[in-house]
Every structure is written in structure tokens, then in C-alpha cells.
Amino acid sequence: MRKAVMIIALTLASITSSAQEWIEHEGIEYNCDSLNAILDEYGDHDFARIGNQMASVRAFFTLIFPLCPLSGEAVDVIDESDEVATVEEVSDRALPVVENSLYHFNSVDDGQRPVLGPITLPKGLYRFTAVTDDRINVRTPAENDDCGRDFLFSLIDVAPGLASFGLQELIEVESDCELMLKVQVMWEAWTLDIEFVEPETEPTLSFSAGSLAFDSDEAGYQPVLGPVAFAAGSYRVSVTTEDFFIVRAYPLSDDCGRDLDWPLIMLRPGEASRGVEALVVVESDCSAFLDIERVDEEWVMDIEKLN
């Protein structure tokens, strides 16, 4: 734990040092209150390398800003008097269909970094859909032991661009609970929808053609697929990607079998560069959602029925 903290501290120190050198070279005077002015003038200037990606001044302040207000009130980086665009106005993108939203939140009505709630979620399965061009983190600001294991960590936490076409997560509420949600989005417009997934939800995908094909271009980086109708039998799951990749099944009944109780595939970066295959056995006819997790790069997945 101490080693991990040391690595994070050194990484931040390195980024801060590189940014500070550039800022001093440019003769910029800055503090937390002047973030907007700096970003307006220097937002496109690349100054530091993080991993294999060039980080802009905007990215630097996105990382450092939460540490900036060491005392007193946090400084809002968006002037509430400014008109904030809705997500739909950002582009003509094809967004996920949200048919029966139990709760709908957005940056226009709720603010840029709100604490939402209290909201009541009865026991069951929920689909969270977030749309934004920015980094987004959604979490519960306090412990919610009654809600279940999924609420021990951030419900959604993805880098800029990964939710531009909609990012979805399946969240299981293990018992009736009431909670608050903290949404953190630094700059861009955002929306968040929470849907209750009915146990009797009719499957939207089947293997009538013998196989199903998915990819990040059509489905997004981390979508929820389905429900998929599985007939009893064996299936070949093939995945190609350069990144982490997890596909997890959420059966809508108890008769799918053991293989759907665990991740169908769980990969580390580089393991599926040339493709990886897994055999999945479904013990009886059933339907399930497929939740794609942890992947930040392009991916392709095919599921083929073998018998």
C-alpha cells in the first residue's frame, strides 16, 4: 500500500513539475481562481507526456484541480451564469436508447458537479447510462452497506471520451436502500439515467443466424448488451483488443448454469492482440445481459453457437 501511494505521489510530482516548468517559462501566474482564464488562453498547448499520450493544460488541471482548494469552499470551474450545452447539442451522435428511466439527471438542470438525491432504489438490477465527452465519476459519498457490494466503489469512473457515445453499467441493489450520488464532471455537459431492469425483460438478441458480433464502433467502449437469449448448448466467445477486457453475464433467471455466474472472459492488456477464445456452456434455455468492463481501446467480440 505504501509503495502504491509512493508511485502515485511520484507520478503526480513528475506531471506537476513538467507543467510548472512550462507555466513558468510562459510567465503565467495562476491559482485556483484563475483556472478558466488559463484554460481559455492555453487550453490547446501540449506540455507534458503521460504514458504514450500527450497531455494538455486542460488535462493537467483536470488532474490537479481536485487537490487545489486545500481549504475553504471548492472553486467552481464553470460559471453558472454561462449557458451550458446539453449533451444532445454536442453532436449528432447515436446515443443508447433509454426507454424507462427511473431517474434522469443532467448538467443543465442539476449543475456540473452535484450531489443528487436522496434517491430510493428497491432491491433489483439497474442499468446506469452516462453520456459526456469528459471524464465522469459517479459514486456514493457515504457508506451504503444496505445497498450492496457494487456501492463500495465508484459506480462509474471513466476517462474523457469513453462515454461520448454512452457508457453503461449494470448495478445490483441487494436490498431496498436510499442513497445520495456524487457526480464529478469537470468541464463538459453530461446526462445520467438510471433504469430498473425488469426480471421479465424480453431478450432483444438471439442466435437465429448462429452467431452474434459486437464491436466498440457500434456498441461503445463499455456497453451493456442484450438481454441475449441463450439456448442450452456450447458457445465460442472470441475477443480481440489491445486493452483490459472483461465480459460479465447477468442472468435474468437461475437456470443458465455455472459458466454464466463468472466472467466469460477476463483479459489483461496485450493478451488478446491476436484474439482469444473461451468455451461457455449454457445448461438450459435462459436470457442474460452481457456487461463489457475495463476496456478503453477498440475491441471486437463474436459469440458463436456450436451445437
**d(C-alpha 267, C-alpha 243), whole Å:** 8
Fold equal for 87-197 and 211-305 = yes
What are the pLDDT digits (tens) for 132-163? Answer: 999 999 999 877 767 888 888 889 988 888 88
Q: Are 250 and 168 in contact (CB under 8 A)?
A: no
Strands of the sheet with 299-305, listed across from one edge: 211-215, 299-305, 233-241, 276-282
**d(C-alpha 180, C-alpha 111), whole Å:** 15
Q: Model confidence at 88, in pLDDT bands (50, 70, 90)?
A: very low
**d(C-alpha 32, C-alpha 244), whole Å:** 35
**Nearest partner of 188 among 275, 48, 67, 78, judged by Cα:** 78
Partners of 160 in the β-ladder:
none
> Residue 41 pLDDT > 90, yes or no?
no
> Residue 97 pLDDT > 60, yes or no?
no
**Nearest partner of 297 among 221, 199, 237, 183, judged by Cα:** 221
Q: Which residue has the higher pLDDT, 287 or 84?
A: 287
Q: Are 174 and 149 in contact (CB under 8 A)?
A: yes
Structural domain boundaries of the chain?
Answer: 2-67, 87-197, 211-305
Interstrand relation of 136-139 and 46-50 (parallel, antiparallel or unpaired): unpaired
Q: How far is CA 191 from CA 85, 138, 183, in A?
A: 11, 11, 10
CATH (residue range 87-197)? 2.60.120
| Architecture field, domain 211-305 | Sandwich (2.60)
Of these ranges, 81-85, 99-103, 113-117, the one predicted with the greatest mean pLDDT is 113-117
What are the pLDDT digits (tens) for 256-295? Answer: 899 998 889 999 899 999 999 999 999 999 999 999 988 8
pLDDT at 26: 52
DSSP result, 101-154: EEEEEEHHHH-SS-EEEEEEE-SEEEEEEEEESS-EEEE-SS--TTT-GGGSS-
Pull the grid cell for residue 278.
473461451
pLDDT at 122: 93
> Residue 93 pLDDT > 60, yes or no?
no
